[in-house]
Amino acid sequence: MDADSLLLSLELASGSGQGLSPDRRASLLTSLMLVKRDYRYDRVLFWGRILGLVADYYIAQGLSEDQLAQRKTLYSLNCTEWSLLPPATEEMVAQSSVVKGRFMGDPSYEYEHTELQKVNEGDKVFEEEIVVQIKEETRLVSVIDQIDKAVAIIPRGALFKTPFGPTHVNRTFEGLSLSEAKKLSSYFHFREPVELKNKTLLEKADLDPSLDFMDSLEHDIPKDEETGAQRVKPKDTVSVKVLELHSSGMNWIVK
């Protein structure tokens, strides 16, 4: 949700039965405008809300002039004060993968995980239990990054790439037609391309380099939720599972 059209977007999202109180909406609209000004972002997006047991995390992302440049992620517990999160790393994702259950709603909260590590003492090798502490803030960074990579999408034509490289918002884009909106090829993953780089020149021949510069959803292959193995993709359908997530409008419940 773009901060410039936040109120309209929140109204549309509230159709799922989940929404924000008038006080929260007013605080969010004002504070995101201040975030945009103070951090000098080109655009600020309200990413959504991750529900916690004690408090909820309100997530926003700041974009630079190049829309595909690394996004800066911020969180707030009260829709007024925002804190900048560090970029996700592979180490963070690996650490957080062992944590299960709901978020607490306290960034300083520490989860405890017991690991077995092999210890060498002379000729003897034995396993020792080590307690690893993982901060909830680290888990928050990891979960947001995984959700973004898997399910952050954008319609074809909403962005365009200049011959010089930067990606900009297409001010003339007015939405997809009804027929185009039904096609998976009309949607892209909102991130740097991964699969596109592996395509041959023949496969790229029919692509418009100014519009088709991200990975299309039509090439996604769903994975089995239990085993993680790839399975046959039904025609014009896609199913992506990141974690045990439940999404309702703008809300994410992580289990």
Sequence spans of domains, the chain: 89-150
- The pTM assigned to this predicted structure is 0.81
pLDDT of residue 119: 74
Q: 65 — phi, psi (to 5°)? A: -60, -35
pLDDT at 201: 81
Q: What is the pLDDT along the chain (255 residues), one digit of tens a residue?
A: 888 888 888 887 777 677 888 899 999 999 999 999 999 999 999 999 999 999 999 999 999 989 988 899 999 999 999 999 999 999 999 989 999 889 999 999 999 888 777 777 777 777 778 888 999 999 999 999 999 988 899 999 999 998 887 899 998 998 999 999 999 989 999 988 888 888 888 878 888 888 888 988 987 877 655 445 555 444 443 333 334 444 555 666 666
Q: What is the pLDDT of residue 88?
A: 93
Strand pairing category for 251-254 and 43-50: parallel
**According to the model, what pLDDT value does residue 200 have?**
81
The pLDDT score that the predictor gives to residue 249 is 55
List all residues 6 or more positions away from 102 whose beta carbon is below 8 Å from its beta carbon: 51, 52, 53, 253, 254, 255
End-to-end CA distance of the chain: 24
Rounded to whole angstroms, the Cα distance separating 12 from 2 reads: 13
